[in-house]
Chain A
Amino acid sequence: MMLVLLAFAIWVAAWALNAWLANGRLAGSQAVRIAVPLIFGGTILLVWELLVRGLEIDLVILPPPSLVAQTFAANLSTLWADFVQTILKGALSGYVIGCLIAFTIAIVVDRSDFLRRGLLPVGNFMAALPIVGTAPILVMWFGFDWQSKAAVVVVMVFFPMLVNIVAGLADTTAMQRDLMRTYSASYWQSLFSLRLPAAMPFIFNGLKVSATLALIGAIVAEFFGSPTVGLGFRINASLGQLALDMVWAVIVVAALAGSAFYGVLTLIERRVTYWHPSQRN
């Protein structure tokens, strides 16, 4: 009971601290803006730990974060192998292939107005569908190993990318295109020096949306069959043993991979589209 009360006290204290920081004089500074969410996240972990111990919650329902951290540290090699299998082999290869295919098709489609008016609505429609559902079919075609996961990712990534690239390529004003024409630029010159750079904000938007989709596709596809390695497999296998600490450790890996993936894309975006209003302070 003591621990529960302590958890409650810590929650109130941390919230008061955050409220004071957020409404204080330094609220606009970089340090406070980073500190406040960190305090909040840390408090949640602490309260979680204390509540699980205080209320003696069964490990099968919710393991405390300290146990998850221990499991994470003790199984580094297993988790690394899962990471390589699912993220690097499955998600990343599928992501690259899917984006390249979408890019090529977008360039082709862009030359014909007829194709664009046909493919854009179909692509938009497909992008809203639960494409993860193709996973069982693709696992049947490409086997249990990472190739089938990459195939699922290709299908999932393709439509959002296609729609974004085509929309981006259309995002130049008549004035800009006329300028290129007065320079007597060829199709390819105007593509590379005007329309592709102008499409970059759209392309990065698609890349970021697809990054999350790629991880979802690779993990969910493993629920339909996988070799004895991989994040999705590990989740299923550990659930079967009711080893919830391991499941949480795998989720930590997936979360880290997802944020890292997104972070890298954001950094590249900042370098490439530094001219765009959303990137200027």
Chain B
Amino acid sequence: MTRWLPILTVVAAILAIWYVACVPMNIKEVLTQQERAGVEVFPPSAKERRDLGRLGLVASNFSLIGPSWSMERARLPAPHQVASELWKSTWDEEVNGRRGIVRSGSLSNRSLIYHGGVTLGATMVGFLIGSLLGVLLAVGIVYNRAMDMSVMPWAIISQTIPIVALAPMIIVVLYSVGLSGLIAKAVISAYLSFFPVVVGMVKGLRAPDQMQLDLLKTYNASDNQQLFRLRLPSSVPYLFTSLKIGIAASLVGAIVGELPVQRGGLGARMLGGSYYGQTEQIWAALFVAAVLAAGLVWLIGWIERRTLSRMGVVA
């Protein structure tokens, strides 16, 4: 309880700020709507209202702010509006909708479960490929001096550049050679999770100190035995740390990869929402992305705790 009280307080404060912020953010649209409904608005002309700031409008029309939290297509939808949109586009759409899984037997293409699944699939495939290649390259780097000196500086530099900028191009190029959909997005995800894993794993494989390496040498251990008995086990904590960074990057890659091709996925939902001014749709997609990211990072953390306690590392 003592751990959760401060966190809950902070979350409650954020929600409170959000509700308060809805008033000035939506005031212009609220007043326009009220005026059309015949309510007297101050100042009366639209031109004067434009010149008055948002806070000024709130101050002079304080009795009219009621609809701030129930506007359609609000500039800032209130938390409960986002929550209801989330409910509508997940449970409600699947269970009661004509195209939902209950009536049609397949996930509705209007539901966030479907779009989240599309993004999750690309993320996972890309993440698995990327981190596997990353581990392999890291082993190569640790055991081959030439590889170490040639590749490692570039791997480090590549972390300082915004690789996501490549995403739209990868999509278009892969499309022109006949690859599209999940594979193209997975390539971007793999690429983004690749470098963090390489850098983390190299650090991890080099974690055993000279004393331990010398001990294996006195046992007359081969390179293979050294890798599997000493270096790989001692790199596990480093591996999990970089996997957490990698999977978050993979998710961002998949979302950005969905922007140029409007074929489903959370990125497509966000871009679609921003084209049609459906703010609640953007927020809902954003929350699903957040839940996905948190879930994936938590999953890796859970596997990490299980693995480390199984290996006897004090957690």
Contact = CB atoms under 8 A, between A and B. Distances in A.
A223 B168 contact: yes
B299 interface: no
With most chain A CB atoms within 10 A of its CB, the pick from B7, B162, B169, B270 is B162
A208 B157 CA distance: 12
Interface in A100-124: 114-119, 121-122
B273 interface: yes
Contacts of B166: 251
Interface residues of B, number: 59
Given A15-B146, A128-B297, A219-B164, A212 B159 contact: yes
A48 interface: no
Which secondary structure characterizes the binding site on chain A? Answer: helix
Nearest to B270: A136
Contacts of A261: 160
Contact of B164 (A33, A121, A136, A220): A220
Interface string B133-150: 000000000000110111
B215 interface: no
A8 interface: no
A260 B271 CA distance: 31
A41 B10 CA distance: 49
B274 A136 contact: yes
A10 interface: no
Contact of A115 (B6, B153, B260): B6
A211 B259 contact: no
A275 interface: no
Contacts of A117: 3, 6-7
Contacts of B159: 212
Interface of B: 3, 5-11, 14, 25, 75-76, 145-146, 148-154, 157, 159-162, 164-166, 168-169, 172-173, 176-177, 244, 248, 251-252, 255-256, 259-260, 266, 270-271, 273-274, 277, 279, 282-283, 285-286, 289-290, 293-294, 297
* 9 tightest A-B CB contacts, nearest first: A118-B6, A136-B274, A40-B150, A118-B10, A262-B160, A258-B161, A215-B162, A19-B146, A22-B146
Given A115-B6, A235-B169, 7 more contacts: A21-B149, A22-B150, A36-B150, A37-B149, A132-B256, A223-B256, A258-B161
